Structure 1
Amino acid sequence: MQYRKLGKTGFEVSEVSLGTWQVGGRWGDAFDEQNAAQIINKAIDEGVNFIDTADVYSEGQSEAAVAKVVKSRSEQVYIATKCGRQISPHTSEGYTPERLKGFVEQSLRNMQLETLDLIQLHCPPTEVYNRPEIFETFEKLKEQGKIRNLGVSVELVDEALLAMQYPNVTTVQIIYNMFRLKPGEEFFSKAKENNVGIISRVPLASGLLTGKMSPETKFGPEDHRTFNRQGEAFDKGETFSGVDFHLGLEAVEELRKVFPGQEPLAAWALRWVLMSPEVSTVIPGASRPDQVEANIKASNLPALSQEQMQAVQQVYDQYIRPSVHELW
């Protein structure tokens, strides 16, 4: 495992880490605490020292499972969590200092911790980024010892740029993968200037970039890949990176030609993300321990060649850019 600096936090974090949206079962399945513990332990065994969770993942069960395992280990493992998505309707008006303080305190209770390593606003409405009092709230929480760092998880590149106007924003979590190139073009250089850590989420485009899907692939009724393809439940870009499923499959077939050989496309997709030195860590999810092991392999793959990087760009320009580039 290789490690990179996570912006202003000063943390040295594993370049391949763990996202826990589907830890404990696949999306929509009942939470399985034993499976979650196996996944998290496997990640730490493989050198992962940064785990991302959220208060809305399995209604706090993911937070609790992550903290329980981390406390049982001797290694230094940083836990990042998120808050704000419990607000319904999810509007700027719903974001108040008192409500956000309550979310932080609930996460502390869920994890039985005194301090959160990193709390992130969980894809708030764009208007929230123009409300200084929201960001001041977390500065007060830091002074009280309840958090160490504040970050944001964003949908839009423009939101990432707005967030960096606040000096206490230490990290930005953003979708960045072979089907979502815009952050690398418009945001990464600014993040480097501001010493803001970049956390790359949805790196496999909800599984499309594993190369294991086909037109016949079916998903469960509670799986967001079934019910959110057009953004019915939350931002469309969170599902398959906003790419039409069948168009994405066509693009994947082209990517297979760029990366033939023994290693699966998923590992190369993660290695592609790591080709950007501005990225601090990439956080693929896993629903089984063996998926963790497969993801970790990306850290040890050789660098992509210039020809491979250009080929990925060409696939994006031909298949993906026209329909998604300007949306996020």
Structure 2
Amino acid sequence: MNYRLLGKTGLKVSEISLGTWQVGGKWGSGFDHENADYIINTAIDKGVNFIDTADVYEAGLSEEAVGRVVRSRSEEVFVASKCGRQINPHVNAGYTPDVLQKYVEDSLQRTGLEALDLIQLHCPPTEVYYRPEIFERFERLKEQGKIKNLGVSVEKVEEALKAIEYPNVTTVQIIFNAFRQRPAELFFKEAQKRQVGIIVRVPLASGLLTGKFSASTRFEAGDHRQFNRQGEAFDKGETFSGIDYELGLKAVNALKAALPGRDNLAAVALQWILQYEAVSCIIPGASRVEQVESNLAVFGETPLTAEETAAINDVYQKYIQKEVHHLW
């Protein structure tokens, strides 16, 4: 495992960390505590020291699992959670300092931790980023010893750029992958100037970039890759990075053709992200231990050549850029 500095938090985190949206099993199929514990323990065994969760992941069961495992380990493992998505309807008016403080306190109770290493606003409406009183409340939570750092999870580059204007925002979690390249243009440079850590989510475009899907692949009814392709439940960009599924398959086939001998396309996709110094860590999810092991296999792969990187970018420009680049 390799480690990088998570911005001005001062934490050194594993380049490949762990996201726990589906850690209890497949989306919508019930939470398997034994499976969750197995996944999280295996990740830690292999050097992962940063775990991302959220209060809405399986109605708090993900937080419970993360806290349970981390408390049982002797290693130092940093826990990041997120708050805000419980607000229903999820609109700007629902965001108040008191509501958010209660969410943080509930997360502490579920995890059993004295303090969260990182709490992140969970993709709030854009208007929230223009309300200083929201960000100020997290300073009070830090003074109270309930959190150590504040970050944000965003949908759009514009939201990320606004968020890092607040001095107490230490990290930004953002979608970035070979099929979602816009963040690298301006945002990465601005984040580095402010020593803001970048946490990359959806690195495999909801599995598209594993190269294992086809036109005949079927997803379960409770899987967002089935029900959210047009943004029916939340931002479309969270599902296949906002790319039309059929177009994504064409782009993946083009990648395979452009990268002969690269059988592990997921490792290629992760390598492509790690080439960016601005990235602090990547948080791929896992519903099975085998997926954790597959993600960590990136460290055993031959580094990408300049020609291979160029080929990946060519595929993006030919198939993807005009469809999604301007949207997020």
Letter in 1 for 2:187: F
The TM-score normalised by the length of structure 1 is 0.99
Q: Which residue of 2 aligns with 1:271?
A: 271
Q: Which residue of 1 aligns with 2:166?
A: 166
Q: Residues 1-328 of structure 1: matches in 2 within 5 Å?
A: 1-261=1-261, 263-328=263-328
For residue 112 of structure 1, report the CA deviation from its aligned partner. Answer: 1.0
Q: Distance in 1 between matches of 2:202 and 2:24?
A: 17
Q: Distance in 1 between matches of 2:312 and 2:176?
A: 13
Letter in 2 for 1:287: S
**Does the CA contact (< 8 Å) of 1:206 and 1:225 recur in 2?**
yes
Q: Distance in 2 between matches of 1:194 and 1:20?
A: 28
- Count of aligned pairs between the two proteins: 328
SS of equivalent residue, structure 2 residue 207: helix
SS of equivalent residue, structure 1 residue 206: coil
**Does the CA contact (< 8 Å) of 1:4 and 1:280 recur in 2?**
yes
The TM-score normalised by the length of structure 2 is 0.99
Unaligned runs of 5+ in 2: none
Distance 1:225 1:160, change over 3 A: same
**Does the CA contact (< 8 Å) of 1:259 and 1:268 recur in 2?**
no
SS of equivalent residue, structure 1 residue 303: coil
For residue 25 of structure 1, report the CA deviation from its aligned partner. Answer: 0.5
SS of equivalent residue, structure 1 residue 88: coil
The runs of 4+ residues in structure 1 deviating greater than 2 Å are: 257-263, 299-303
**Does the CA contact (< 8 Å) of 2:262 and 2:268 recur in 1?**
no
- Structure 1 residues 208-259: Cα deviation after superposition (integer angstroms, max 9, x where no partner): 0110000010011111111110001000000000000000000000111233
Q: Distance in 1 between matches of 2:157 and 2:315?
A: 21
**Does the CA contact (< 8 Å) of 1:15 and 1:299 recur in 2?**
no
For residue 262 of structure 1, report the CA deviation from its aligned partner. Answer: 5.8
Q: Distance in 1 between matches of 2:243 and 2:210?
A: 15
Letter in 1 for 2:267: A
Q: Distance in 1 between matches of 2:112 and 2:181?
A: 38
Letter in 2 for 1:121: L
% same residue: 64
Letter in 1 for 2:144: Q
- Structure 1 residues 23-77: Cα deviation after superposition (integer angstroms, max 9, x where no partner): 0101111000000000001100110000000000001000010111111111110
SS of equivalent residue, structure 1 residue 200: strand
Q: Distance in 1 between matches of 2:224 and 2:148?
A: 32
For residue 263 of structure 1, report the CA deviation from its aligned partner. Answer: 4.2
CA RMSD in angstroms, aligned pairs only: 0.8
Q: Distance in 2 between matches of 1:109 and 1:245?
A: 39
Q: Distance in 2 between matches of 1:313 and 1:265?
A: 14
For residue 200 of structure 1, report the CA deviation from its aligned partner. Answer: 0.4
Q: Distance in 2 between matches of 1:57 and 1:46?
A: 24
**Does the CA contact (< 8 Å) of 1:16 and 1:299 recur in 2?**
no
